[in-house]
């Protein structure tokens, strides 16, 4: 599959991030955010199908070709909101829309709730709010995270003898994907090392969260979203648990259920086209 995009690096005040640029220079501004352990290639099927938009598909820090956060810094989900704002500043965008998948969708909701005046529209794919935790579990959660942080330097990332072995492993990972989708993610996400290939991702991304928002925190962010929001739910995705589905369907969002897995926008052309039909009309209304 051949798509036209521009590869860029953006020097933010705190680190450098890589991105793919799609669409005309004068298109409506959109920042696209991928899911956990993915990269900008997650939008390689969808972005070319979205018309009249200037899409900046990021490798979030710690992912793909973007810098890892400095030693001592963490990967709290709300920190990505700051990264996105800095990217918008680079392009001179006071208002912009967000296209987010999974973790990227969660970051989008957090930013739209925190600074509703900056976000014009939200286009979300199989993600809305983070995993939550209540106050009584916070001490144990922090303790586990601190112990894991102490041990992180002793862990080695897996090395795959061949590109195909890495692709097969990604197919079976969190949010299982098609072979073509795994190949697209791997082409951007792998790097050669002695003995084969390993992922570019920062090992600290695998650490448990030190703190989680409570359910009340998460719902407060949703309640502050002031822009039109379109949410695509994958029928074979990660949000079909009855309790979560009931909660999400109570949100004031336009919700569309589509056939496909968690990466339906990347797994095949049929899924990408179905998502594009939803978002093309929505992002231009």
- Give the catalytic positions in this structure: 102
Report the alpha-carbon distance of residue 199 to residue 190 in Å, rounded: 4
Residue closest to 133 by CA, chosen among 208, 240, 81: 208
Spell out the residues 6+ positions from residue 191 whose beta carbon is closer than 8 angstroms to its own. Answer: 197, 198, 199, 200
**171-210 burial by CB neighbour count: b if 16+ within 10 A, else e?**
beeebebbebbbbbbbebbbeeeeeebbbbbbebbebebb
Spell out the residues 6+ positions from residue 8 whose beta carbon is closer than 8 angstroms to its own. Answer: 18, 19, 20, 21
Residue closest to 248 by CA, chosen among 274, 222, 224: 222
Report the alpha-carbon distance of residue 276 to residue 279 in Å, rounded: 5
Q: Burial level of 242, CB count in 10 A (0-12/13-18/19+)?
A: exposed
3-class SS string, 251-282: CCCEEEEEEEECCHHHHCHHHHHHHHHHHHHH
């Amino acid at each position: 599959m051949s798509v036209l995009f521009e590869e860029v690096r953006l020097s933010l005040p705190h680190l450098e991030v890589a991105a793919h640029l799609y669409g005309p220079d004068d298109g409506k501004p959109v920042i696209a955010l991928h899911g956990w352990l993915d990269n900008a290639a997650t939008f390689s099927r969808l972005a070319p199908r979205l018309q009249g938009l200037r899409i900046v598909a990021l490798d979030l820090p710690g992912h793909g070709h973007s810098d890892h956060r400095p030693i001592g810094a963490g990967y709290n989900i709300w920190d990505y909101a700051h990264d996105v704002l800095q990217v918008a500043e680079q392009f001179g965008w006071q208002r912009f829309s967000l296209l987010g998948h999974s973790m990227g969708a969660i970051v989008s909701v957090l930013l739209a709730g925190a600074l509703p005046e900056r976000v014009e529209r939200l286009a979300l794919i199989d993600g809305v709010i983070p995993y939550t935790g209540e106050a009584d579990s916070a001490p144990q959660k922090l303790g586990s995270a601190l112990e894991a942080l102490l041990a992180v330097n002793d862990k080695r990332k897996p090395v795959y003898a061949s590109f195909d072995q890495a692709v097969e492993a990604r197919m079976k990972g969190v949010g299982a994907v098609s072979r073509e989708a795994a190949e697209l993610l791997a082409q951007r996400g792998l790097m050669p090392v002695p003995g084969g290939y390993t992922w570019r991702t920062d090992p600290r991304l695998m650490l448990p969260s030190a703190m989680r928002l409570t359910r009340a925190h998460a719902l407060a962010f949703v309640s502050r979203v002031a822009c039109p929001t379109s949410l695509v739910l994958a029928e074979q995705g990660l949000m079909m648990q009855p309790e979560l589905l009931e909660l999400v369907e109570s949100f004031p969002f336009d919700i569309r259920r589509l056939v496909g897995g968690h990466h339906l926008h990347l797994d095949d052309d049929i899924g990408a086209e179905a998502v594009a039909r939803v978002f093309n009309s929505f992002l231009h209304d």
